[in-house]
Amino acid sequence: MTMIADNLQRIHDRIAQACQASDRLPTSVGLLAVSKTFGPDAVVQAHAAGQTAFGENYIQEAVDKITALTHLPLQWHCIGPIQSNKTRLVATHFDWVHTVDRLKIAQRLSEQRPAHLPPLQVCIQVNVDGGPTKSGVAPAEALALAREVATLPRLQVRGLMCIPEIAPDFVAACVVFARARALFDQINSTGMTLDTLSMGMSADLEAAIASGSTLVRVGSAIFGERR
């Protein structure tokens, strides 16, 4: 087995254990492999080991990789910040975007989504731990933004995403992730049907799964340390 295949197996084991610990089905948590800074060869290796969904932060780097790998049936998720001048690239090349936190960006993505592609799948990024300079909409504004994004014709709202600071321990991490989960439940109680709660990374996926994550985004624990 390659190192990447080996690491993927370890992550699947961690996910399965975390699900068991909180009485969840292992199939209720998806794995997004975060391949930022790694080349197409690393993605090819992960795909050979069964991984199909990949996350990227840097738009131009991602587009180069996506274009080089169109022969493989991969699903690409944009998980990095999006400037207005990059929305067309995102709308053209990605299947999912996790980092929508402004209506203006969502409108541009909808207008620029090519007609021959299915709607772009969207998560609203929420600033759950409250840093004033962090990206993500304030929790109190998430419902209003989700509703507005849901009216855009070429986008489909699927859920919420958050990137809290790494907490000192499991319990502290759960406290922050639980806020995202509560918001997710609150939005669904208004009649929306979100099915995706994108949270948890290499260091804190157990706490995220205990708190209701449906999609963990794992980079370094699969591909190794980034330079």
Ligand X SMILES: *Cc1c(COP(=O)(O)O)cnc(C)c1O
Binding site for ligand X (CB under 6 A): 34, 36, 57, 79, 163, 201-203, 217-221
Q: Compute the distance between CA of residue 172 and CA of residue 194 in angstroms, rounded to an integer.
A: 25
For residue 178, the tally of other CB atoms under 10 A from its CB is: 15
- Estimate to the nearest angstrom the gap between the alpha carbon of 139 and the chain centroid: 17
Nearer to ligand X, 196 or 202 (CB): 202
**Backbone phi, then psi, for 136, in 5-degree steps?**
110, 145
Q: Compute the distance between CA of residue 142 and CA of residue 97 in angstroms, rounded to an integer.
A: 16
Nearer to ligand X, 19 or 161 (CB): 161
CB-closest chain residue to ligand X: 219
CB of 190 to ligand X, least distance (A): 26
Nearer to ligand X, 86 or 217 (CB): 217
Instruction: Look at the block and give the residue holding tokens 């292992």.
Output: 26
Q: Compute the distance between CA of residue 94 and CA of residue 84 in angstroms, rounded to an integer.
A: 16
CB of 126 to ligand X, least distance (A): 13
Nearer to ligand X, 110 or 125 (CB): 125
Nearer to ligand X, 133 or 189 (CB): 133
CB of 222 to ligand X, least distance (A): 8
Are the beta carbons of 59 and 45 closer than 8 angstroms? Answer: no
3 state SS of 123 = strand
CB of 54 to ligand X, least distance (A): 11
CB of 213 to ligand X, least distance (A): 12
Nearer to ligand X, 75 or 186 (CB): 75
Q: Compute the distance between CA of residue 21 and CA of residue 120 in angstroms, rounded to an integer.
A: 34
CB of 163 to ligand X, least distance (A): 5
H/E element holding 10? helix 3-21
3 state SS of 61 = helix
